[in-house]
Structure 1
C-alpha cells in the first residue's frame, strides 16, 4: 500500500499530472516536457524525480539525452487498485437497483 501512497501523492500536483498526460503521447526529453510550463528546467527536473521515485515514469539514456516515458508497471498498479474500487462501486449500484426495483413493485401493488 505504501507504493500506492507514493504514486497517488505524486499525482496530487497538477504539473506532474500534466507531465504524465504529455508522456501518454510518447517519450519526451526534459526540455520538451518543460516547454509548456512557465517554470525553470530544474523545477521540471524535480517533478520528474518525484514521478520516477513513485515508479510512474522511467528514464532511458540515449547519448546525452535522457528521454522519459510512462512506466507500465507503475500505471498498472494504480489501475488495478482503482479497478477493485470500480468493481465494488458497481456491486453497490446493483444492490441499490435491486432495492429500488423492489420498492417500485411494492408501490404499484398498493395503488387503488
Structure 2
C-alpha cells in the first residue's frame, strides 16, 4: 500500500471541511429562504461548490494513491454542467406558472 504524504492528507482534509461547510450553508439556505426563487439559489450555488470540493478531495486522494480518479472528474463535470441548466429550467417554469415571490418590487435594485 502506498503511503500518502502528510501534505496531501492535510489538503484533502481542508477540501472536505470547505466542501462540508458549503453544503451546510446550502442546506441552511434551503430552510431559511422564504420563497422558491431564493431557495433555488442555495442548492445550485453553495451545494454545487460543496459537492465539487468533496469530489476534488476524492480525486486528489485517488491520485495520491496511484489511481486514476477519472470517475470523480466525470461526476464533477456532469454536476457543474447540469446544476445551472436545471436551475435555469426550474426558474423559467416557475416564471411561466407565475409562482409568487415574497420580494417586493420596491426592494429590487434600480439600474
TM-score normalised per structure 1? 0.27
Q: Which has the higher contact order (CA 8 A, sep 6+)?
A: 2
TM-score normalised per structure 2? 0.27
> Rg larger in 1 or in 2?
1
Of Structure 1 and Structure 2, the greater strand share is in 1
Of Structure 1 and Structure 2, the greater helix share is in 2
